[in-house]
Structure 1
């Protein structure tokens, strides 16, 4: 009988943001965004904790009944914040976690099934790190985003803000007719050992060039397993994004 994995989902939530200050506490249809993300993630039936650097966020999470830990204000990435939170929790935990998921705190339209899709990567005991991709269905989706190419075993070859692969000798308007494209959906999962190792690696040249943290792992010769998702995510970075998400939630609620 296969042992059920013990999974911890960590939602990094910092108050400071260059484009939208206090983003986790932005009201979205009557609830702060961090609460919407937390409640969606809990539907996957895994342990969830918010890792924050701000007492205001801490107090809000406590108020709605969520689990939360205070972390340093000095972390440069969400992954490093996740590691600190994991270490804080692991010190108090009687049984070890098998998988840690870094859940984006600015995606209130998260679907709990995305977590389940991601966890399938760990059916393979060799998986150390995994993330989600979504097949591109329409050429308009090539206008922006982070794209990924993968090998025949569903391991990432490269991530880029440029559209990859580049289809030579075909007009860009027809690229989706002749090739398959995948967009990255930014939810990551690690084994505890891989999370520790990832956070301790120095920033790499490709990571700095593309401003994509996951390239650090690939550039160090490591593998990232990919799982397909059918659920698109909407990241909230601006007030316009907030209104977009509100409209989607309002339409869904009315059905």
Structure 2
């Protein structure tokens, strides 16, 4: 089973434009992420997929593999699907370009999920982490997921799900972490479909997979990723890296 990593790296970002090229203790964020993915030792190859000549040059200068997107894309799945069409791979792992502190143990769990799936019932695997802070649960920027008894995703939402009608009933809330592992054929199927109604309403790309009948296995992790979505996040990342 050949496993590769794809790092979608769009230059513009609505909340923090150009964040992937911001300095993170002597190196751009995207360079830190690429190096961390390679260092993890889990992938046959690691690629950066970008729409930016500046990012392309940065990765090429350190000997990395980089693919320049030919089209404009609305989501990371489309960007990496375009890039992976002619690359030999069984499993494609989407590593977020703005998360330079890679959680190797969680990635190992995702990959093992496919190795154990001898009947090929899983199209995608992704991560979830338990939430307890009510403000975080109600924050629409945090995508929540509910699963069935076998930990297959039933629905993703920006709303707090499940809704607890009777307040004496105990329930758990899980945040979806945007790290995916795909069977290549499922990723290409997604690329050749159009945006679905629930995906359009919630602006959550994994809903399209559910709406077209794909199976998403959710793996619980206790590790909270450190993403760089704002200038404040970058300051925190700098302090963390300095103390490593």
Give me the TM-score of the superposition, normalised by structure 1. Answer: 0.87
Does 1:221 pair with 2:218?
Answer: no
Q: 1:148 aligns with which of 145, 153, 170?
A: 145
Alpha-carbon distance between aligned partners in 1 of 2:204 and 2:14, rounded to the nearest angstrom: 18
> Cα distance, 1:219 vs. partner?
1.3
Q: Aligned residue for 2:91?
A: 99
The one-character-per-residue Cα deviations of 1:7-33 (angstroms, maximum 9, x if unpaired) are 010001111222222221111122211
Q: Name the SS of the counterpart of 1:113 in structure 2.
A: helix
Q: Return the alpha-carbon distance in structure 2 between the equivalents of residues 169 and 192 of structure 1.
A: 43
Q: 1:193 aligns with which of 177, 182, 185?
A: 185
Report if the CA contact (8 A) 1:100-1:190 is conserved. yes
d(CA) in 1 for partners of 2:134 and 2:26? Answer: 35
Q: For each residue in 1:140-191, what CA deviation from the matched residue of structure 2 results, as whole angstroms up to 9, or x when unmatched?
A: 54243111000011100000111111111218xxx8xx21221101011111
Select the residue among 27, 35, 39 that pairs with 2:35.
39
Partner-residue secondary structure (3-state), 1:38:
helix
Aligned to 1:212: 204
Match of 1:233 in 2: 225
Report the Cα offset of residue 114 of structure 1: 2.2
CA-CA distance at 1:131 after TM superposition? 0.9
> Deviation digits for residues 118-150 of structure 1, max 9, x if unmatched?
112212122111111112255454243111000
8 Å contact from structure 1 (residues 206, 216) kept in 2: yes
Residue aligning to 2:48:
50
| Residue 234 (structure 1) shift | 2.6
Distance 1:44 1:169 in 2: 47
- Give the whole-Å Cα distance in 1 for the aligned partners of 2:83 and 2:50: 9
The partner residue of 1:242 within 229, 234, 241 is: 234
Name which of 166, 187, 190 aligns with 1:169: 166
Contact 2:29/2:98 (<8 A) preserved: yes
Runs (5+) with no aligned partner, structure 2: none
TM-score, length of structure 2 as denominator length: 0.90
Contact 2:82 2:191 in 1 (8 A): no
What SS does the aligned partner of 1:57 have? Answer: helix
Count of residue pairs brought into register by the alignment:
237
Contact 2:7–2:96 (Cα < 8 Å) also in 1: yes
Q: Structure 2 CA distance, aligned partners of 1:20 and 1:182?
A: 26
> Is the 1:40–1:112 contact (alpha carbons within 8 Å) kept by the matching residues of 2?
no
For structure 1, list consecutive stretches of 5 or more residues without a partner in the other structure.
Answer: 91-95
| Alignment partner, residue 122 of structure 2 | 127
Query: What's the CA shift string for 1:201-251, capped at 9, x where partnerless?
Result: 110111111110000111122211111122111322221121122223233
- Segment drifting more, 139-148 vs 62-71: 139-148
Q: Call closer, same or farther: CA 1:232–1:114 in 2, change over 3 Å.
A: same
